[in-house]
Amino acid sequence: MRFERREHRPLSLLILTPLIAVVSALAISGILIALAGAPVLEAYWRILAGAFGSRLAVSETLTRATPLILTGLAAAVAFRARLWNIGAEGQLYLGALAVAAAGSMLLGGLPGIVQIPLLLVTGAVAGMLFMLIPLWLRLRFSVDEVVTSLLLNFVAVLIVSMLIDGVLKDPMAFGWPQSYPVADDALLPKLIARSRLHIGFGIAIVLSIVIYFIQSRTVFGMQSRAAGLNPPGAVFAGVPLGRTLLKVACLSGGLAGLAGAIEVLGVKGYVTTDLSPGFGYAGIVVAMLANLNPIVVVLTALFTATMFVGADGMSRSMGIPTYIADVTVALSLLTMLVGLFHSQYRIRR
């Protein structure tokens, strides 16, 4: 058996690959559901109902999709330039922490219209700065950023843990380790009344379009793609490698930091160490399922959010652990990788 590179990738294949990947992942998870003794189709029906069955369910799913879109974009932007930022989780936490600190202390008195943009920028900058550490290590010492950005995730959570049990600890929280809350004025306006859905969702959608535009239409987008695809070729064509990667890292880290900022300002109002149920890692799956296309990231983030939100409802009524959502999402990454391989190569015997 040999693998032969496909000369042309038909559009149908590009569309079908993620669909087939998701269906296969659902089919394999179905085996687990059946093993747990529940009817598979009904379980999936309940997941759908749990995610879209009511106005509240829909708003919950969209709320959950918001940080996933942003971390998905963070991964997509970086991976496109072959910068393997696995640290979105940590950048998200640092963004959240910076927002909580600034919102509760420095900027707390400002009116919302001024405070919110400032806080969002603060979060993005914090994420950016945190991503600069692995980038600097790579450019200066050729240290693999997969390892450094991944390990910094744990450092980030420990920093959060230290501060919310220290200087940022909210004395009104009955001893729970959580940060001071941000001022009420800093909370993001709701998109739908009496739900948790906030304008952060709109911001994420707009950003996905902006990123798409940057990648397909700008000089920076073209240069970062060249740098990722063929570094010596990019150097020969005069692409400043270091500077391009620096911009990519800032964009990627900034998006992840923004995810943290929006999660604090839109949903929680303060920071704890369980702010993110792995949004940063799930963002990698979201980006890969979307084949790194920023527009498709919105759809794949919705799929992932559907699984997580829907699994909660399904679990209550059918007695299957919610971990089935994690299993399905993780499986869909594996099936997508297999699918991507098949869309690039054909198998010959």
Partner 1 sequence: MTLPVLQIEGVSKRFGNNLANDDISLTLAKGEIIALLGENGAGKTTLMSILFGHYTPDAGRIVVDGTELPPGKPRAAIRAGVGMVHQHFSLAPNLTVLENVMTGTESLWAVKSQTGAARRKLLSISERFGLRIDPDKRLGDLSVGEQQRVEILKSLYNDARILILDEPTAVLTNIEAERLFTVLKDMARQGLSLIFISHKLDEVMAAADRIVVLRRGKTVAERRASDSSKAELAELMVGRQVERPVREPSTPGALALAARDITVWVNGVARLKSISFALREGEILGIVGVSGNGQAVLGQMLFGTCARTSGTLELFGKPVADLTVPDVVDAGIGRIPEDRNHEGAIGEMAIWENAVLERISSPAFSKNGLVNRNAGMAFARRIIEEFDVRGGTPQTRARLLSGGNLQKLILGRNLLQNPRILIAAQPTRGLDEGAVAAVHARLLAARKEGAAVLLISEDLDEVIRLADRIQAIVGGLLSPPVEAADADARKLGLMMAGEWREVEDAV
Q: CB-wise, 221 or 294, nearer to partner 1?
A: 221
Least distance in Å: CB of 240 to partner 1? Answer: 9
Please give the Cα distance from 300 to 122 (Å, whole number): 27
* Nearest approach, Cβ of residue 227 and partner 1 (Å): 9
CA distance 343 to 214: 26
Shortest Å, Cβ 182 to partner 1: 35
Do 1 and 347 meet the contact criterion of CB atoms below 8 Å apart? yes
- 218 is a contact residue toward partner 1 (CB under 8 A): yes
Q: Does 167 bind partner 1 (CB under 8 A)?
A: no
Least distance to partner 1, CB of residue 127, Å: 23
- In the complex, the smallest distance separating the C-beta of residue 327 from partner 1, rounded to whole angstroms, is 33
C-alpha pair distances (Å), 82 with each of 41, 245, 274: 39, 9, 30
DSSP 265: I
CB of 232 to partner 1, least distance (A): 5
> Which one of 7, 166, 174, 175 is in contact with partner 1 (CB under 8 A)?
7
Size of site (CB under 8 A) for partner 1: 22
Q: Which of 23, 39, 144, 217 binds partner 1 (CB under 8 A)?
A: 217
The reply on whether position 341 binds partner 1 by CB under 8 A is no
Quote the least distance from Cβ 349 to partner 1, whole Å: 7
Query: Please, which of residues 234-293 interact with partner 1 by CB under 8 A?
Result: 234-239
Q: Which is nearer to partner 1, 161 or 230 (CB)?
A: 230
Given a contact cutoff of 8 angstroms between Cβ atoms, the answer to whether 207 and 255 are in contact is yes
Map tokens 């149908």 to a residue: 12
CA angle 289, 313, 67 (to 5 degrees): 40
Q: Specify the DSSP element, H or E, that contains 119.
A: helix 112-141
Q: Dihedrals φ, ψ of 228, to 5°?
A: -75, -40
Q: Which residue in the block uniquely carries the two structure tokens 């058996």?
A: 1
Q: CB 86 → partner 1: shortest distance, Å?
A: 23
Q: Which of 136, 156, 104, 100 is nearest to 281 (CA)?
A: 156
Which one, 227 or 267, has the nearer CB to partner 1?
A: 227
Sign of the CA dihedral 7, 340, 79, 75?
Answer: positive
Pairing of strands 345-348, 2-5: antiparallel
**Integer-rounded Cα radius of gyration of the chain:** 21
What CA–CA distance (Å, rounded) separates 146 from 144? 5
Q: Is 344 in the site for partner 1 (CB under 8 A)?
A: no
Q: Could you tell me which stretch among 82-90, 186-194, 224-232, 319-327 binds partner 1 (CB under 8 A)?
A: 224-232
Tokens linked to 226: 């060249």
Selected binder of partner 1 within 11, 35, 113, 219 (CB under 8 A): 219
Closer Cβ to partner 1, 166 or 238, answer by number? 238
Confirm if 246 and 239 have CB atoms less than 8 A apart: no
Among 109, 166, 175, 232, binds partner 1 (CB under 8 A): 232
CB-nearer residue toward partner 1: 140 or 349: 349
Q: Considering beta carbons, is residue 119 or 239 the nearer one to partner 1?
A: 239
Q: Which of 56, 14, 337 is nearest to 195 (CA)?
A: 56
220 binds partner 1 (CB under 8 A): yes
d(CA 349, CA 339): 19
Near partner 1 by CB under 8 A: residue from 71, 223, 300, 335:
223
Binding region for partner 1 (CB under 8 A): 2, 7, 217-223, 225-226, 229-230, 232-239, 349
